[in-house]
A and B are shown apart, each in its own frame.
Chain A
Amino acid sequence: MIVGDLDQQEFAEGLSGVGLCIQFGPFNLRIHSNLPTFTHVAYPLYAPYPLFPASQLIDFHIQITSPPGLRRWVRRQACFALDGHFPFAPYAVDHAFPALEWGINWCIATRAHHLLMLHAAGVERNGHAILFPASPGDGKSTLCTALIHSGWRLLSDEFGLVRPEDGMLLPLPRVIPLKNQSIEVIRQFRPQAVIGPEFLGTRKGTVAHVQPPLESIRRAQECARARWLIFPRWIADAPLSLTPIAKSQAFLLVATNAFNYEVLDQASFRLVAQLVRDCDCFTLIYSNLDEAISTLDQLAPNCQ
């Protein structure tokens, strides 16, 4: 059963009652909300995601609700809570959806230490994955969004989740937050992409969320093995270049840009070393998405 099997009213009632149990890749979430500003945005964007039965373990019990007590009558705000605790200052009520999405990131980053969490986007085709480790502003989300609307499957936009037991990548195909100019770039690139409303003046500027293609969400439990490590960088008007880099350099770039490299200690070292050994490593400088995608498409047939 998926969220879209409910109508919008059932969805809103589920959220405001005990909450709805929605699965995002390896994580089971129970989401509770009494805010129409949240449900209106979330319903179409979450429609393809699976609901899981109450007999399964819930990883994060979260909520985005109006402030507790009397404050709800004074200020229209949205408060994020995990297990009944409110770790952050309230958000504007209109920003309830990005606040929840950001809260989920925080839950994963602070709790999922059974996995190595790289700061990387990931896409897959024919069983082979590209990991794009990058810092904010390098155009990772834009490139990733363009690729998944060009035949690649989304693994993840933010978290490169590596399972320590076998080094496999766990998909986490959540909605992708596009920022500022990227929103228009993707609208131009794929007019049919499902994009939610624009939220102005968030901490990261203007944000709009893209729904991944249905196939990516349907195959969210299919792991993949990394085949390429590509460090992308968008530079205005730059000619495209895909340049191999030394594995030692790739190792450092991956290890220093992870959420919990230190926490997993020796396991991290072993996993990143294996990853770098298994992958062809490149830097990619691009300014034009079509060019970048056709270059990356050409990598794929080579490994058949």
Chain B
Amino acid sequence: MNKSAFENHRAQQLLLTALRQPENLSILTTMEWDLLLRIARRARVLGRIEVSLANSGQLAQIPAGAANHLRATRNVIEHRKTLVSWEVNRLLWALRGIDVPLILLKGTGYLLAGLPPAAGRIFADVDLLVPENRLPELESRLLAAGWFRTQIDPYDDRYYRVWMHEIPPLRHRERGTEIDIHHRLLPKTSRLASDPDTLFANAGELADPRLKILAPADMVLHALVHLFLEGDPGEGLRLRDLLDVHDLLTHFSDLPDFWKELIPRARGLGFQRPLYYGLIHLQQMFATPIPATVAGELNGLAPPWPIRPLMARLISLALLPEHPDYPRRSAAIARWLLYARSHWLRMPTVLLSKHLARKLWLRIRGARKRIDLAQLDLKQQ
């Protein structure tokens, strides 16, 4: 094993052990903490480590410098929780008198429903799923109540509205918080069919009857679809999102029909592959308990050889963050390939080629990528 492979292996094992057996974190040396903080931050799981330490009463036993970083992360997370909860409150106020189901997706849903993944998780934006035919009404209500469309060029606007599963984000002019409004889980043009109607029919209610969350199986499948199909070539697949699924599966295991319904529901939505990849890697990385009946059926969802071993390798490379001092080309290529794959699944080939050609042209012409400092700051946590 060369130095780079060795260092990456060491860093990744350190991270996985910290996530799997947080009860042993207090025995880490200062230098191990140094590395763990860096790699956990990159995987966006620093807050989760803080929560584990706080719950097991170990915070006082770790090096003070490390405790400072964890404290800082906790403060930011608590602040974001306040912002996101308040944003949902303001949203309900802006939409008062309109009877429309609002499904809270991802982090927003976990937070408002009090589900386990909310602990120690950073919340960026508010994500909503609403019926497509109610979009114009909702959008105009929000625009009248202080939200505005973020500046995007006409091509991007069209890209969103004609092909995508969400409209361009709305931002509040005073609070700066963004709302992403979805009308389905994947782009209209995606190869993975998805009928949003059943999502609304199955949705669960929160305390406020207008607020809903996806049914347990749908929530798990959406988290997996988001993980595997909405990548970022720089960041790779988000380990944090996989941990969300670990928490959800562990939590929903108690529901009598949860596991029985999961695979049929995945087939119904066309999400067998994301479910397969997710469960396989959850077992490997976090030893997530999966009933034998479900595990036995998994092979039926798997892609054929040689896709199966290839994808397993690519996903492992893209999920685990790299040692910041020893980045490997293989991981960068894996991240890029999975990103290309997600785009290939998002749109038909001809449309995708046109889209990429257009993007390339804009880049050659020198249209600068906007640097959003607020978003950069969030990635810091």
Contact = CB atoms under 8 A, between A and B. Distances in A.
Q: Do A and B come from one complex?
A: yes
A77 to B, nearest CB: 16
A64 to B, nearest CB: 16
A88 B373 CA distance: 10
Contact of A111 (B63, B72, B324, B371): B72
Contacts of B31: 54-55
Interface of A: 28, 54-59, 61, 83-85, 87-89, 110-114, 262-265
Contacts of B327: 84
B65 A111 contact: no
10 residue pairs, one from A and one from B, having the closest CB atoms: A57-B65, A113-B72, A84-B324, A114-B71, A114-B72, A110-B380, A83-B324, A114-B68, A263-B79, A113-B75
Contacts of B226: none
20 contacts: A57-B33, A57-B65, A59-B65, A83-B41, A83-B42, A85-B324, A87-B371, A89-B371, A110-B380, A111-B72, A112-B68, A113-B75, A113-B76, A114-B68, A114-B69, A114-B71, A114-B75, A263-B76, A265-B75, A265-B78
Nearest to A88: B371
Interface in B340-381: 371, 376-377, 380
B182 to A, nearest CB: 28
Nearest to A68: B327
B233 to A, nearest CB: 14
Q: Interface on chain B toward A: helix, strand, loop, or mixed SS?
A: helix
- Listed residue (A28, A55, A263) with the most chain B CB atoms within 10 angstroms of its CB: A263
B324 A57 contact: no
A28 B65 contact: yes
Interface of B: 30-31, 33-34, 37-38, 41-42, 63, 65-66, 68-69, 71-73, 75-76, 78-79, 82, 324-325, 327, 371, 376-377, 380
Contacts of B75: 113-114, 263-265
A43 B79 CA distance: 40
A113 B380 CA distance: 11
Q: Interface on chain A toward B: helix, strand, loop, or mixed SS?
A: loop
Contacts of A28: 65
B380 A265 contact: no
A258 B327 CA distance: 36
A300 to B, nearest CB: 32
Contacts of A58: 34
B376 A110 contact: yes
B65 A110 contact: no
Contact of B325 (A59, A84, A114, A264): A84
A20 B75 CA distance: 30
Nearest to B325: A84
Given A111-B380, A114-B68, A265-B79, 8 more contacts: A28-B65, A56-B30, A57-B66, A61-B324, A87-B376, A110-B377, A113-B72, A265-B75
A58 B376 CA distance: 21
Contacts of A263: 75-76, 79
Contacts of B380: 110-111
A111 B376 contact: no
- Listed residue (B30, B68, B324, B376) with the most chain A CB atoms within 10 angstroms of its CB: B68
Nearest to A267: B75
Contacts of A114: 68-69, 71-72, 75
B33 A83 contact: no
A262 B327 CA distance: 35
Contacts of B76: 113, 263
A83 B41 CA distance: 10
A84 B235 CA distance: 12
B12 to A, nearest CB: 15
A89 B377 CA distance: 16
Contacts of B73: 113
A265 B82 contact: yes
Given A87-B376, A110-B380, A61 B82 contact: no
A84 B8 CA distance: 14
Contacts of A113: 71-73, 75-76
Contacts of B377: 110
A139 B374 CA distance: 27
B33 A112 contact: no
A127 to B, nearest CB: 24
A84 B38 CA distance: 10
A262 B79 contact: yes
Contacts of A111: 69, 72, 380
A112 B68 CA distance: 8
A57 B371 contact: no
A265 B73 CA distance: 14
